[in-house]
A and B are shown apart, each in its own frame.
Chain A
Amino acid sequence: MYLFTNAIKNLGRNKGRNMLIAVITLAIIISTVVTLTINNAAARVVDDIRLDLGSRVSVRQDFIEMRQMGLDGRRDAQHIPLTDFVAFSESEFLRHTTFSADVLAWSDSLFAIDDPNLGEGTRVLDDGSVMNEETLRLVTISDPELLPDFGTLREIVDGRMFDGINEAVISEALAAHNDISVGDTIEIIGAYATDRMFSLTVVGIYSDATDEYLNPWITMFGLFPALNRRNEIIASFDTLLASSWETNAGLDIDFHYFLSNPDYLEAFEVEVRAMGLPFTYNVDINRAAFERVTGPLAGISSAAFTFMVVVLVLGAITLGLMSYMAVRERKYEVGVLRAMGLERGRVAIGIISEAVMIAAVCLVIGLGVGSAVAQPIANGMLSGRVAEAEAVENPGANRALFAGGQMQIGDGTAGYVPVSEIQLNLGVDIILQIIIITLGLAALTSIIGVVIITQYEPLIILRERT
């Protein structure tokens, strides 16, 4: 007990040296608390995103790969039966699947907003076939709960959401443009496959506060009514399957296969390839979106980690040097104690106790101060990274690829925004890590001294002093 009492008194007796050690230790602990908290929170958010976006696999025609293979995106497109896509969802590597497919369509009885030709336009394709100008977009989805914007910018104002096959909801604007009411039937034809006709009962009309065009730049080249969101006719994916639409030809598909573990991606791809999926199809997560969303987090996490390593290394070196320099001063003290009969081990306990006490006080203050300043620091770092990410022009974001009667706009990052907020929590795991680091620092400040000092015999120390 007296060793600890003496250690406490020693802290006061050697104020100058101990204050210096405490300041350095405190600086190390505060920066470690801040960086570990940021890292931990960033890792948690990235993990969450990885479980969602990072495990959401899309199976899409790979236009870029096809170009590199010298294939034409439309002429050489290999179409896959929709039943195959559904069969992929039976994989044991999946926990969930969502299907969404858009059909560019036209109608001779329904006028699209922004349509200058009032549904009468036709286009002759390279192979001589005639294609009606697409003016409408039939959006089909396996679960209406997944429809973007419903509940925020879109809301059913009349009727209800679709439920069964051949039921649809349309925008107020489209309904008003064509004088359609709930209960009316509309007929639309696939623009690419003109023999596919959909006869849909309007069961709901929704208000729509979204931007008319998801990519406003497209209006610079004229009006594309099929891309105007007011012209969307939304129905269930089963409606598409029931329409005897056999393959994905003419469809803009968005089939998401959610892996039960993000690491199963390769295994899932092997499985679907074995089921006949050609290599002109890409089986992958939306990496561009993932990187866009998590990029700033990865940035601050990496910066914080680098900073922590630098602080720890420099701090450890400084503490080590201070400990070494304090050896001479402590050597005499140890000589006196040893001359009084105190064993080496007890001398070591005394010195280590002092270091642990300094570290413990610094730990308490450091945890408090560190957790208080971590959030503003993280916010500052993150906003800087987000601004940086948004300032960088993404050449792929506005890329448009046309093939097989479908058009793919952008690189998949549209609609995804970088994470701009992060909630920091000082969890038990971080506290444990900080305690370990603090004990390491305490060990560093004491063990150098202990090892050097206790190897001397007391007489030698006292003679040197004399």
Chain B
Amino acid sequence: MSVLALKDVSYKYEGTTRVIFKDVNLTFEPGKVYTIVGKSGSGKSTLLSLLSGLDTATSGKVEIGGESLASINRNHYRRKKAGIIFQSLNLLPNATAIDNIVLSMNISGVTGIDKKARALELLEKVGISQEKANRKIVKLSGGEQQRIGIARALAHNPELIIADEPTGSLDKDTEVKVLKIFRSLAQEEGKCVIIVTHSKKVTTIADEIWGLEKGSFRQLDPSEVQAGREIIAKKGRKLV
């Protein structure tokens, strides 16, 4: 039973002829981590916009629990079902870390729990101290902001986590910590985690790795990714 599926999805930017994807069919199941890799500008972030209901496909449909995303309330979908980690973070810069997370829970309609305590718990999980939790976002480093973005996406306990380069600004130790969280969310809580990434490390936690090239998706073998990276390292040019 898929939690999210792309059915014959094609996408091109309005007013252009450039096709980003064509007739894409992908299925995402609960309890699995998916990573999507591809060159810069290949359309990975666009795919995440479609999956998170921020954009709509030119043709085909994105289905959530068997229902077309176009026919359901996309605000409700983002509020309740999806936790989105943006590449550009999209935090409220003048609000504190806690306020960002509590506001997200409020918007999602989370009730019956101590939201502040939950926010602090999540922040601690991603390595943000209580002192930093009370700082405004603008007073925190890029890596700290990224972790707050992750904590915010998890705050309302969504069944689907969609992340765009979630570890891009993290140091190695924190990256490992965050990846463990993603892995446990899938394995232990049955969440579906979809990550767009360039990071080799991130692909190591994936159940499925999909490569996006010239508008088509192809499932990659983990060893294939590894081989690709070695080629990059040798030739000094970026393929994946």
Question: A residues engaging B (CB < 8 A)?
Answer: 2, 5-6, 9, 13-14, 333, 335-343, 457-459, 462, 465-466
B181 interface residue, CB < 8 Å from A? no
Nearest CB of chain A from residue B29's CB, rounded to whole Å: 23
> What is the total of A-B residue contacts with beta carbons within 8 Å?
59
B103 interface residue, CB < 8 Å from A? yes
Check B78 against A339 for contact (C-beta < 8 Å). Answer: yes
Check B55 against A459 for contact (C-beta < 8 Å). Answer: yes
CA–CA, A338 and B77, complex, Å: 12
Tell which of A337, A457, A458, A465 touches B107, judged by Cβ atoms closer than 8 Å: A337
CA–CA, A314 and B217, complex, Å: 59
What are 26 contact pairs spanning A and B, CB under 8 A? A2-B103, A2-B107, A6-B106, A9-B95, A13-B94, A14-B94, A333-B92, A335-B90, A336-B91, A337-B107, A340-B79, A340-B104, A340-B107, A340-B108, A341-B74, A341-B76, A341-B79, A341-B80, A342-B75, A343-B75, A457-B54, A458-B54, A462-B54, A462-B86, A462-B88, A466-B87
* Residues in A neighbouring B76, C-beta threshold 8 A: 341
Check A339 against B90 for contact (C-beta < 8 Å). Answer: yes
Tell which of A335, A459, A465 touches B49, judged by Cβ atoms closer than 8 Å: A459
Check B55 against A339 for contact (C-beta < 8 Å). Answer: no
B99 interface residue, CB < 8 Å from A? yes
Check B84 against A339 for contact (C-beta < 8 Å). Answer: yes
Given contacts A13-B92, A339-B78, A340-B79, 15 further A-B contacts (CB under 8 A): A5-B106, A6-B106, A9-B95, A14-B94, A336-B90, A340-B84, A340-B103, A341-B75, A341-B80, A341-B108, A342-B107, A457-B54, A459-B49, A459-B54, A466-B88
CA–CA, A457 and B49, complex, Å: 12
**Most chain-A CB neighbours within 10 Å: which of B75, B78, B87, B104?**
B75
The interface bits of chain B over 44-58 (1 if a CB of A lies within 8 angstroms of the residue's CB, else 0) are: 000001001011000
CA–CA, A218 and B9, complex, Å: 106
* Residues in B neighbouring A6, C-beta threshold 8 A: 103, 106
* Residues in A neighbouring B87, C-beta threshold 8 A: 466
Residues 63 to 84 of chain B near chain A (Cβ within 8 Å): 74-80, 84
Check B77 against A341 for contact (C-beta < 8 Å). Answer: yes
Residues 94 to 141 of chain B near chain A (Cβ within 8 Å): 94-95, 99, 103-104, 106-108, 136
- Tell me the nearest residue of chain B to A3, going by C-beta: B106
* Residues in A neighbouring B55, C-beta threshold 8 A: 459
CA–CA, A465 and B90, complex, Å: 9
Nearest CB of chain A from residue B24's CB, rounded to whole Å: 19
- Tell me the nearest residue of chain B to A5, going by C-beta: B106
* Residues in B neighbouring A466, C-beta threshold 8 A: 87-88
Nearest CB of chain A from residue B135's CB, rounded to whole Å: 13
* Residues in B neighbouring A336, C-beta threshold 8 A: 90-92
- 6 shortest interchain CB distances as A-B pairs: A341-B79, A341-B78, A2-B106, A13-B94, A459-B54, A341-B75
- Tell me the nearest residue of chain B to A333, going by C-beta: B92
* Residues in B neighbouring A457, C-beta threshold 8 A: 54
- Tell me the nearest residue of chain A to B104, going by C-beta: A340
CA–CA, A457 and B91, complex, Å: 17
* Residues in B neighbouring A340, C-beta threshold 8 A: 78-79, 84, 103-104, 107-108
